[in-house]
């Protein structure tokens, strides 16, 4: 049985995205209610390894207790609450921006279009999606 399939240009992908670069900003541990900032944390390292030297190099910027020697040869540093964590550079908070409503389609050869269509309004994106779904349903009905 031969099935009448649509060509590659009939395919579309719909996304709602909020890129980090344009929709988020860097944040402090306090802003994101970071658990390490709120509760403190422990860092366990092996003496003589680069991680151990990195912790010791932080002495001017961080407070800690220890190190505690562990049975497995590692040492544990305990950092009390109220200090920025080691992952603060990864903390982000969203900006008050509408997400981007993206429609990606293909050309007649099935290659994705280089520039996706970005709808400015959610209603336009929903309308495009509904029209595309209806076109698929109509095609299926026609056979």
- The domain tally of the chain equals 2
The predicted model scores a pTM of 0.62
Q: What is the pLDDT of residue 50?
A: 93
| Residue 72 included in any domain | yes
Residue that finishes a domain, picked among 73, 92, 111: 92
Q: What is the pLDDT of residue 9?
A: 59
Residue that finishes a domain, picked among 92, 111, 131: 92
| Residue 3 included in any domain | no
For 44, the token pair is 């366990």
- Same domain? For 13 and 49 the reply is no
Domain region containing 119: 8-18+97-142
- Same domain? For 81 and 32 the reply is yes
Contact partners, residue 86, CB within 8 Å, separation at least 6: 36, 43
Q: What is the pLDDT of residue 118?
A: 78
| Residue 112 included in any domain | yes
From first to last of its 143 residues, the chain has per-residue pLDDT tens of: 455 666 665 677 888 889 999 999 999 999 999 999 999 999 999 999 999 999 999 888 999 998 999 999 999 999 999 999 999 999 999 999 989 888 887 655 556 666 677 777 888 888 888 988 888 888 888 86
CA distances from 117 to 76, 92, 140 (A): 52, 27, 26
- Same domain? For 106 and 127 the reply is yes
């Amino acid at each position: 049985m031969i099935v009448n399939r649509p060509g590659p240009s009939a395919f579309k992908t719909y996304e709602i995205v909020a890129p980090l670069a344009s929709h988020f900003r860097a944040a402090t541990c306090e802003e994101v209610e970071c658990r390490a900032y709120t509760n403190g944390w422990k860092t366990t390292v092996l003496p003589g390894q680069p991680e151990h030297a990195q912790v010791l190099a932080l002495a001017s910027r961080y407070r800690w207790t220890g190190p505690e020697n562990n049975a497995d040869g590692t040492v544990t540093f305990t950092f009390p609450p109220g200090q920025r964590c080691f992952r603060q550079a990864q903390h982000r908070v969203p900006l008050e921006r509408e997400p981007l409503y993206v429609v990606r389609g293909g050309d007649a050869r099935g290659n994705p279009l280089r520039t996706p269509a970005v709808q400015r309004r959610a209603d336009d994106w929903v309308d495009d999606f509904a029209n595309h779904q209806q076109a698929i349903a109509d095609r299926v009905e026609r056979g």
